[in-house]
Chain A
Amino acid sequence: AQRVTQPEKLLSVFKGAPVELKCNYSYSGSPELFWYVQYSRQRLQLLLRHISRESIKGFTADLNKGETSFHLKKPFAQEEDSAMYYCALSGVSGSRLTFGEGTQLTVNP
């Protein structure tokens, strides 16, 4: 079985502060990990995936297989980062996309 856990339902930081959204997973094979974001009144969209090893809107995420984690980080949060963030997992060989519970990030001015 595959499972994704986001321990923080709500996260509030001030503009310019670093932010880290935690994601832990359980999966017996090789996972594909993603972060999706949902801005207010917009549809869910892909933010980044671990295989790309890219930085999107200043966010990065590193897959740590030892700790089974895929935390999302940004060194300096901006107000426009306020949104709901979902960590998601699927298997390399094909399996359903499983989402975590989501973390609502609020960046205060």
Chain B
Amino acid sequence: NAGVTQTPKFQVLKTGQSMTLQCAQDMNHEYMSWYRQDPGMGLRLIHYSVGAGITDQGEVPNGYNVSRSTTEDFPLRLLSAAPSQTSVYFCASSRTHTGSVEAFFGQGTRLTVV
């Protein structure tokens, strides 16, 4: 019962470095998304995908890149890390992107940019 798996759980980056946060789901879900969680600001949508080969920007996409080559995987790339990207990142998936469907979340990646 893996569900949504995120790696790594913790990461420290230096300003300017790049890295990829991994997200995989084994539920054959159509819809996947990335959020960042910051104190007092809730979860804000970074990017999302409604299916393999289709991605779109969310509320706060600047500095991040995504791709969806398979149904299972939805990696998030930080192109050149900045201290403002220090946050907790959550990947989520759901069966579809319409209607009252439940979103399943990963355990999160705590990223610190120094």
With contacts A9-B40, A96-B48, A101-B40 taken as known, whether A46 is within 8 angstroms of B103 at the C-beta atoms is yes
Q: Which of B4, B33, B40 contacts A96 (CB 8 A)?
A: B33
With contacts A43-B107, A44-B90 taken as known, whether A97 is within 8 angstroms of B33 at the C-beta atoms is yes
Could you tell me if B106 and A99 are in contact, using CB atoms closer than 8 angstroms? no
Closest to B6 in A: A43
Flag whether A26 is at the interface (Cβ < 8 A).
no
Flag whether B51 is at the interface (Cβ < 8 A).
no
Q: Which of B45, B90, B96, B100 contacts A98 (CB 8 A)?
A: B45
Flag whether B74 is at the interface (Cβ < 8 A).
no
By a CB distance below 8 angstroms, the chain B residues around A102 are 42-43
Could you tell me if B98 and A99 are in contact, using CB atoms closer than 8 angstroms? no
Flag whether A109 is at the interface (Cβ < 8 A).
no
Contacts between chains A and B (CB distance < 8 A), count:
58
By a CB distance below 8 angstroms, the chain B residues around A4 are 42
A34 CA to B102 CA in the complex, in Å? 9
Binds B, one of A11-19, A65-73, A75-83, A86-94: A86-94
By a CB distance below 8 angstroms, the chain A residues around B89 are none
Q: In residues 64-114 of chain B, which contact A (Cβ within 8 Å)?
A: 90, 92, 94, 96-100, 102-103, 105-108
Q: Which of A32, A34, A97, A101 contacts B41 (CB 8 A)?
A: A101
**Residues of A that sit less than 8 Å from B by CB:** 4, 6, 9, 32, 34, 36, 43-46, 49-52, 86, 90, 92-102
**Residues of B that sit less than 8 Å from A by CB:** 4, 33, 35, 40-45, 48, 58, 90, 92, 94, 96-100, 102-103, 105-108
